[in-house]
Structure 1
């Protein structure tokens, strides 16, 4: 609210309102609606109200003012609601009972900027940590009304609107509706313009943070929404552009972008359109034979021809300049995640997101997962970086990290090379038995899975497990546990590694030299000696 004219008009309407209510004057004028200044976690805003203490006004009157034709009364009613909802959960429920939510929604489209600011500010406070009011806002058509004014040049208003949308997106049952009603507008009116004008000003950074926080929540809901976001023109390109240009590794907007990229890469290969999946998989020998001419009982297509054509299809995909969703699986995205992981100042959530995205795009049986595994290990030489990250005690990082390492050991053909670099570090991360709570059972299963991929094809891996004292650990994980679901999975994973280690008869003599040090380990060892698999040890 700026200008002397508005100030005089405001005082006149305050006097009128006081006369109507039969109460005294307000002590100080009401200032502009506060913005969403900070965020504690995804979908939860911290509201900082900058206003006066209002006296002599009650909630029914404030709600009634929302429907008055007088702009000043609309502002007064919305400002009172904003103030009360910041301080009182009971006020939030009272407004819903008084049908104040639809009245606020109608004010979003007001021609008066002050009305819009106070109405959206009141809504922000109204829905904060109140699920019923979130539903009431959506049912009243609030999302459509909010996105319709996103193109307003008022940065304060845009901050509040995007903050409300972020808050709404924290509720799972509202995410799909938001993806239908808000996703196109958020992308076209906010995300793309902001990422096209980097670096951002402080107010723009707040708007970007709110917007990407909303996208982060939406990207986690289901396959249908993930696919819609992948197909949204400009969305992935904008995220990549921000990741490439943001210089502060601890930036919360950067964290949100990485989390969206991770979520959109989840189950990527199974959710891709058939045409894209066929392009990434390349021609198979079966399809080539079917399409080729035959002479008698013989075809003109050989195994070498198939391999050559597959390599050509890989080269064609790699040389393509990625656009849109192609960034999710293009080799260039690996380098993008590498930069995040190399920076020691990156926050834990950003690292977790980058690792998780790499885990997603290297997972499964798809040929392209194998191609990108090769990019990680050979082209970007990321193995030392990933192994160093195993020093972390954060379960949130260790779970995707060990999952990624498991994928890499599965796909990379040179198992001896991987064993030389990985076994010592992986074994050191294993717990001494299955009763230890850290690392978690999921991490232990992943480590055992990685070791097993190596052991099945490399006697060097089995030898190094033995050399770095991995055998007693695997024995103890197999036999000493609390019978919980997680520990039983870890026990089975350790048992599988032990079984595959036993196939190398030349190492049996070395196995016999392993001697446990503790009483429990000795009991485990005697048990394993009588095991059918380890009976020869």
Structure 2
């Protein structure tokens, strides 16, 4: 069975509690006060605050409109609100945008009406208004208009909304930037919009948001963010998380964007030092790094790959020489080790940009995430998935990093500890990583004694059980097979811990779904390779009688 890599999920809207491969949207802009809720012009500021509005929204309405004009919002309907957007008076523009923002908070009919009235194009014109309150309300209204409304997302893009949003990022205003990054995150939830977004937003998002808020531009390792800046950073990394999941071209673009990978790595490392591994910003950053590591060795520049593969590699063979496949006395093993040391020395300088993705130092960071992150399983899954990606395949560097993980970082205990998870997504990444490590490890007997018992307990009793998933079962069988082919200890322990019964049942008792059929084939491969150990034939016969 070949080693495998994985691509992560897009950002999820945890407010809705749904999961899956599809990218999700961020939350909407805060709803402003409904006109019917303003009973008279004598309403006090304290009374206004009892409504579910942010202080900034209140301050904006009170300071810009004053109470008398503010009461005029009572008379608005959607056509008049859109008309207000066209007026030259900033007060009227604010009132119109505020009305639209509130009405579109949870009413899809209102969102569609704004589009029919050509209100989206009018809002776009206000994104770079000279009046900052107009900017805030125009972007706040837009954020609500496009939320879970694909037609309005398309209309926003067709009206030139993305360049105008990017231009507005130059304003150092937190409320405005929260709206802009929230809009971009929502737009990035749709696959057919991601490439365009990446082309038009990556440099500015990186330069104006990611680098300064990650702390990577400063002299210290600290990340110092206000609550508003933390939200802006979360929105931005949520957008990047979605963009990184779409295709090779966009992944390449992101890897090559100056400062992007550096900032993510710096932010995660600084957060770990500050014991903030559970933060949502860390989750997003880790998911981006995991996605950018997907199919890494097939997508990095040829010059970088050539340096990692070493100068004496036999390019024609098409296969990498796994580290430790030969005895210490073997001349071939010594030559391989010397090449590894030479290459390791070359890449062990301070990495820059995308070099972080395959640098040995990144293995240490992922290991620290696995050790520190006890609550957020998505972050742990991303760390395991990133490690799975950079240890996948036949490339020699995948084998080198596997050895770093096992021998230098001594990662096996923490992986086995997390293997007890009931989260199938996390289990898939963990078992995928262990599958790669078991393939490249130098001492398969030692690894077998540590992992076989726990792996057998994770196997289902037969092929009909729904948990764990077929992907996880295939990975577990892959690990066992990698060990069995070189270790009689692995075969012995599988039999001792009642793994034979499970493997036979997975092979013979299953439905006709493609996943279960592949799992049955994987189990059959393990059983076939176990048969080479004649001392275990009596155990095989006993299982057949059951």
Q: How does 1:57-456 map to 2 (within 5 A)?
A: 57-196=76-215, 198-246=223-271, 247-284=275-312, 286=314, 307=336, 310-456=339-485
Native 8 Å contact 1:40 1:46 kept in 2: no
Match of 2:493 in 1: 464
Measured after TM superposition, the shift of residue 52 of structure 1 is: 4.4
Q: C-alpha deviations, 1:324-344, integer Å up to 9, x for none?
A: 111111111111111111125
CA contact (8 A) 1:249 1:346 kept: no
Q: Say if 2:479 is the partner of 1:479.
A: no
- In the aligned structure 1, how far is the partner of 2:353 from the partner of 2:25? 26
For these two proteins, the number of residue pairs brought into alignment is 468
Partner of 2:65: none
Counterparts of 1:3-82 in structure 2, within 5 Å, are: 42-53=24-35, 54-82=73-101
- Paired with 1:57 and 1:165, the residues of 2 have a C-alpha distance of 29
Deviation at 1:267, TM superposition (A): 0.5
CA-to-partner distance for each residue in 1:445-475, whole Å, 9 max, x for gaps? 1111110011111111111111111111111
Deviations 1:5-56 (A, max 9, x none): xxxxxxxxxxxxxxxxxxxxxxxxxxxxxxxx99657423143224342422
Change (3 A) 1:123 1:275: same
What stretches of structure 1 of length at least 5 have no aligned partner?
A: 1-36, 289-301, 516-524, 528-537
TM-aligned CA distance change 1:287 to 1:490, over 3 Å: closer
RMSD: 2.0
CA distance in 2, matches of 1:311, 1:203: 46
Cα 1:39/1:325, change in 2 over 3 Å: farther
Residues 1:285 and 1:115: Cα distance change in structure 2 (over 3 Å): closer
| Shift, 1:444, TM fit | 0.8
Post-superposition shift, 1:400? 0.9
User: Residue 328 and residue 462 in structure 1: after superposition, are their counterparts in 2 closer, same or farther (change >3 A)?
Assistant: same
Given that 1:474 and 1:495 are in contact with CA atoms closer than 8 Å, whether structure 2 keeps it comes out as: yes
**Shift of the alpha carbon at 1:120?**
0.6
Identify unmatched segments of 5+ residues in structure 2.
Answer: 1-12, 18-23, 36-72, 317-330
Does the 8 Å contact 2:101/2:140 carry over to 1? yes
- Note if contact 1:283-1:309 (Cα within 8 Å) is conserved in structure 2: no
Preserved CA contact (<8 Å) 1:85 1:122: yes
Go from structure 1 to structure 2 and tell me whether the alpha carbon gap of 1:441 and 1:303 turns closer, same or farther (over 3 Å shift). Answer: closer
- SS of 2:430's equivalent? helix
Could you say which structure has the greater relative contact order, defined with CA pairs below 8 angstroms and 6 or more residues apart? 2
Structure 1 Cα separation of the partners of residues 367 and 390 of structure 2: 14
Query: TM-score scaled by structure 2?
Result: 0.82
Alignment check: 8 A CA contact 2:435 2:475 kept: yes
**TM-score, normalised relative to structure 1:** 0.84
Task: State the shift of 1:315 in Å.
Answer: 2.4
Given that 1:402 and 1:443 are in contact with CA atoms closer than 8 Å, whether structure 2 keeps it comes out as yes
* 1:43–1:214 contact (8 Å) kept in structure 2: no
Which residue does 2:525 correspond to in 1?
A: 496
Which secondary structure state, in structure 1, belongs to the residue aligned with residue 104 of structure 2? Answer: helix
Measure the CA separation in 2 of the matches of 1:428 and 1:72.
67
Question: C-alpha offsets along residues 155-199 of structure 1, whole Å, 9 cap, x if unaligned?
Answer: 111111111111111111111110011111100111001112622
Deviation at 1:285, TM superposition (A): 5.1
Provide the C-alpha distance between the structure 2 equivalents of 1:427 and 1:140, rounded to a whole number of angstroms. Answer: 57
CA contact 1:195–1:242 (8 Å) conserved in 2: yes
Question: 1:309 offset after TM fit, Å?
Answer: 5.2
Q: Kindly tell me: are residues 473 and 306 of structure 1, through their superposed partners in 2, closer, same or farther at Cα, counting changes over 3 Å?
A: same
